[in-house]
Structures are given as C-alpha cells and as structure tokens.
Amino acid sequence: MNNPVLNVKAVEKDFGGIRALDDVDLVVHNKEIVALIGPNGAGKTTFFNCITGIYTPTGGDVLIDPTAEGNPRRINGKKPNVVTELGMARTFQNIRLFPSMTALENVMIGTHCRTKSAVWGAISRNKATRREEQAVIDRSYELLKLVGLEKYVNDLATNMPYGKQRRLEIARALATDPFLLLLDEPAAGMNPQETLDLERLIVDIRDQFSISIMLIEHDMKMVMSMSDRIYVLDYGRMIADGTPREIAENPAVIKAYLGESDD
C-alpha cells in the first residue's frame, strides 16, 4: 500500500523556445499533503496544467494509481475531463467558477462525470433521473456545508466574496470524487484568519475523505505547518524536496528565494 498515487517522471514542457519544466520528478503518496513552492514564474501552474491534461507534456511520464495497489497507468496527453474522471480534480489560481450559476449549481457541475442521466432522462424525468438529481443536490449541499458556504447556496458565484469563491472551487473539485485534490494557490488574497481557517479545512478534507492533496502556495507559514512534504521548483527545475524542516534549512532553496546576492 505504499505505492505512490501520483508518480511524475522526468516531465518536460516547452513553450516555443522556452523550457518551462525541465526533468521534473514528483511523487504523492496516499493521504499525503504535498506542497509545491517556488518563485513567481517557476513553472508551478504549468506543472499542474501538464498533469491535469490542460497541456500535454513535451516529454516524460505522468503515472497515476488511484488505489495505490502498484499498477500505475500513464495519463500523458489525456483530455482534462478524462483526467478528472480518473480522479484528479483541481482548482485554478485565477478563480474559474461558472459566474452566472449559483453556488449549488457550481458544485453540482462537479458531479457530472459521476452521474449518467442523458437527454431522454432529462425530458421524461423518470424515476432514476429524479433520484439521481436529488442525490446530486443533496451531496452538493453537503459539500457546500463542509466548506462553510451553506449561506450562499442560491447566490450567483460572481456575487460571492473572493475568499468564499476560493472555497467554492474546492467544493466543486471535491464533488468530482477525486483521489487527489490539486489546489493552485488556495490562500491567495486571503487574510491571516481566513488562511488559518482554510488550512484547517484542507487538513479536514484529507482526513475525512482519505484523499491526497497537493497544493501550490506562496504563504510559507501555511505550507510549513500543514505539508507532509514540500517540493521546490525554480526556473522549471526541481531544486529540492523533503520535509518542511529539511526545506527550511536547504541552502539551494534559500538561495532561490533570496536571490544570489552574497558569496
């Protein structure tokens, strides 16, 4: 059972002449919280895009093994919706909700790939469809409650406060029933109290759903206190990985963050 659920090997991504990711390795184990940090423009979001199918990596392998049983499966080049169906759900750095749909509907969209009703079901509204629809509604409401948004159920996503929108994105991603949740800067734009609450929420989600979580984050306090392991990306290369303590003391990381001023 100690096989990684996500195993990324030597992934590369070129944009024209620019190499945004160069020989990046990374593993995530079951129920782990892994952080990916690095200066602006290091390639963190590009990494997320490469493993979720929004970009196709130029080279390398992305292997997933949802049940951690040791039979990984290569997912390079699969479409984003297929990747999500396989169990990797994500949020976006620049919030991408469905603005003119309600909070509840946003979460309901997340259940799309786990439900079946089609055109005939929609028009006839037969028993199976009604049952499925009600299950979707109830489940979505529960998820909204979990992230503390029950107050906003019927509000349009665009009218919600910024911090709440970030939480809504998490609920929506959870609705897809992932084994790995990928969060791109979930605390961006939040005040210290909100960040603290969010940290608690993320740990809760991990414990309650028994899933793995990988997050990109700039808030070092949050990263250091909640992650099991941390990866550091700089100019598209993975310069370090280890426990928070190891990372805090790693000279290469300190150099990358503070710049090469001395010597």
CB-CB neighbours of 94 under 10 Å: 8
* From the list ligand ATP, Mg ion, another protein, none, partner contacted by residue 98 (C-beta under 5 to 8 A by kind): another protein
Stretch that binds ligand ATP, among 33-41, 94-102, 107-115, 205-213 (CB under 6 A): 33-41
Closer to Mg ion by CB, 45 or 84: give it: 45
Q: Per CB under 5 A, does 115 bind Mg ion? A: no
Q: Which long-range contacts (CB under 8 A, 24 or more apart) does 75-81 make?
A: 75/51, 77/53, 78/53, 79/53, 80/52, 80/53, 80/54, 81/53, 81/113
Give me the half-sphere count of Cα atoms (radius 13 Å) on the Cβ side of residue 154.
0
Single out the residue of 24, 28, 35, 42 in contact with ligand ATP (rule: CB under 6 A).
42
From the number of C-beta atoms within 10 Å of its C-beta (0-12, 13-18, 19+), residue 200 rates as exposed
- In order, the DSSP letters of 202-239 are HHHHHHHHT-EEEEE---HHHHHHH-SEEEEEETTEEE
Q: Per CB under 6 A, does 46 bind ligand ATP? A: yes
Stretch that binds another protein, among 33-41, 114-122, 187-195, 243-251 (CB under 8 A): 114-122
Closer to ligand ATP by CB, 14 or 85: give it: 14
CB of 49 to ligand ATP, least distance (A): 7
Q: Per CB under 6 A, does 178 bind ligand ATP? A: no
Single out the residue of 7, 30, 45, 227 in contact with Mg ion (rule: CB under 5 A).
45
Closer to ligand ATP by CB, 37 or 226: give it: 37
Q: Which long-range contacts (CB under 8 A, 24 or more apart) does 74-79 make?
A: 75/51, 77/53, 78/53, 79/53
Single out the residue of 1, 17, 40, 258 in contact with ligand ATP (rule: CB under 6 A).
40
Q: Per CB under 8 A, does 196 bind another protein? A: no
